[in-house]
Amino acid sequence: MSTSESVRSSLDISDFDHIPYYCEENVYFLCKKLCTSGVADAGGSDLFVVFISNENKQIPLWHQKASKRADGIVLWDYHVVCIQKRREGDTPHLVWDLDSSLPFPSPLTSYVSETIRPSFQLFSEYQRFFRIVHGPIFLRCFASDRRHMKDSVGNWIAEPPVYEPIVAEDGAMHNLNEYIEIRAPDNTTNARGDLTNEVFTQRLGVVMDEGQLEEFFSQIP
């Protein structure tokens, strides 16, 4: 067992901060912890932050702790997870989802099968799209002042974290909206070539549909 696998096996989901309905901030600090604990590369080069949404802001995901149904389905407006690219040998790509009832972390293949369920026929308005952002870029550039969690008169829709809002390295106070605006026309039919290069250079990463997700990660060097 490698050092990173040994550390990962000693980590429990309770070791990570989790504030309900603030998945983007939860993932931000999850990435930082994976880096500092040795589970991920110190600079986060093997981490990818994945925003899941669509133009209608209605995406069904299964096995979610917030669900009141036996199958765990929730219709989120958006969701955010971290995918860790396999580091050595035959180890799988891993999905870190603090809101999931599946094993933590879960292999990408089983997470897609159980949570995304691409074989399940959905109406087009519920199709899921994925914005994939390289971890180091996300940690430098992401910012949220939590304005999206206030109603029209300024009251909190859900209680915010007690720590200060995340500010980007360039001083940006809020750009969450740019990450979660994911529309079908942004999608591409090719998960190879340019996309695997662009994900390492573009602030907002690359966008694809659920059928391309696993193929994309198999192409990343």
Active site amino acids? 23, 79, 97
Residues whose CB falls within 8 Å of the CB of residue 172, separated by 6 or more in sequence, listed in order: 141, 143
Tokens of 27: 């993932």
Kindly state the greatest CA–CA separation across the chain.
Answer: 54
Residues 148, 161: Cα–Cα separation, whole Å: 14
Give yes or no for a contact between 127 and 155, defined as CB atoms under 8 angstroms apart: no
DSSP 145-180: --GGGB-TTS-BSSPPPSSPPB--TT-----HHHHH
Helix (H, G, I), strand (E, B) or coil at 5: helix
Tokens of 101: 């009832």
Describe the strand order of the beta sheet including 129-134 as a list of residue ranges. Answer: 106-107, 94-96, 79-84, 47-53, 129-134, 206-209
**DSSP state for residue 118 in the 8-state scheme:** T
